[in-house]
Chains A and B, each alone.
Chain A
């Protein structure tokens, strides 16, 4: 049952898309989907960390002793998170301020650690790279979709630009951008995913 790298890539996009199917990494999914730019930025940051840590861990998988593997994974993931943090601080400062503590919290977002434990520690470099890229992009797409729903309905904007076709009589459904709205919205999203794809 050796899957090709391409299959490892595509499974992250639909059949095992992280927040909806695996129910991992929920905290940023709730907190970072208030606006589309936050959701998209978070998705890309996680993708970078995932690809980096997946490749590095699968390269080091023969070196890392089994008993202390979790600690080693955490150090690798934390290193990539610091890289992302510094890069975002340098190039996208406004987004960096808006996302606040959720950037360092990518370390404990279960996705990179979960993939390291379940996948990269056993597989080669190329499948791990494909897996990381697929999972990361799947995560980005899920976050962006949820953020579009919440921002368009809750605020009447898209990427912080007002949307014209909604018309002047549009009243923002402000429940959507509050914390309760985030929970309900994600719950309904999971429900839709359950209806769409019976595995």
Chain B
């Protein structure tokens, strides 16, 4: 049990996917301008990643490994992700329209979010068992969400500040992300 708690903490804080492993930066900068979009993106990523994490694990150990076709992993995983995202989109549209209205525009973006594919690869590379895969597929996007939502809060304040012209927009965003990353860097001592 202790191992699993440790795994959760290390996925959320120590190895934060966004600030420590540099994955998922495009949506990080793209959707962090407003709090609502940040929350929407977080929910979408958690939702799809738990599903894709589980499915890609099964694909890896039930299909690719027995047939010795692991060189096709990249292709197989990206197809799983694209399919799941499409499926989730159709399901939400039909059955939970309120949630769909909130998540709708972010869902297609999730396919090309490298955090999703990245976590699926990490699960396989670290030889996680199925339960560990489920936990990390939940904890990594939770860490992503934590960083994204905190950053959105910071960014709303930056809008009010007077930033020098060349530094505006993405540039100051990245420098701020650097400061946040420095804060998360302190968690490295915990591991």
**Given A74-B79, A82-B72, A82-B75, A31:B22 Cβ within 8 A:** yes
A-B pairs under 8 A by CB, number: 124
Q: Say whether B71 contacts A105, CB under 8 Å.
A: no
Q: Say whether A180 contacts B113, CB under 8 Å.
A: no
Is the CB of A158 closer than 8 A to any CB of chain B?
no
Q: Say whether A183 contacts B174, CB under 8 Å.
A: yes
**Complexed CA–CA distance, A30 and B178 (Å):** 11
Binds B, one of A53-61, A128-136, A161-169, A190-198: A190-198
Q: Say whether B75 contacts A183, CB under 8 Å.
A: no
**Complexed CA–CA distance, A181 and B182 (Å):** 8
Binds B, one of A5-13, A37-45, A106-114: A106-114
Which chain B residues (1-54) contact chain A, with CB distance < 8 Å?
Answer: 19-26, 29
1/0 per residue, CB under 8 A from B, across A175-199: the answer is 0001111111111101110110000
Task: Kindly list 11 other residue pairs between chains A and B, CB separation below 8 angstroms, not including A74-B78, A86-B71, A194-B165.
Answer: A26-B29, A30-B25, A70-B82, A71-B79, A75-B79, A82-B71, A100-B125, A107-B117, A183-B181, A190-B174, A194-B168
Is the CB of A172 closer than 8 A to any CB of chain B?
no
16 A/B residue pairs, CB under 8 Å, sorted by A: A71-B79, A75-B79, A78-B75, A78-B78, A105-B23, A105-B117, A105-B118, A105-B121, A180-B19, A180-B185, A183-B174, A185-B178, A187-B171, A190-B174, A191-B167, A194-B165
- Chain A residues within CB distance 8 Å of chain B: 23-27, 30-31, 70-71, 74-75, 78-79, 81-82, 85-86, 100-101, 104-105, 107-110, 113, 178-188, 190-192, 194-195
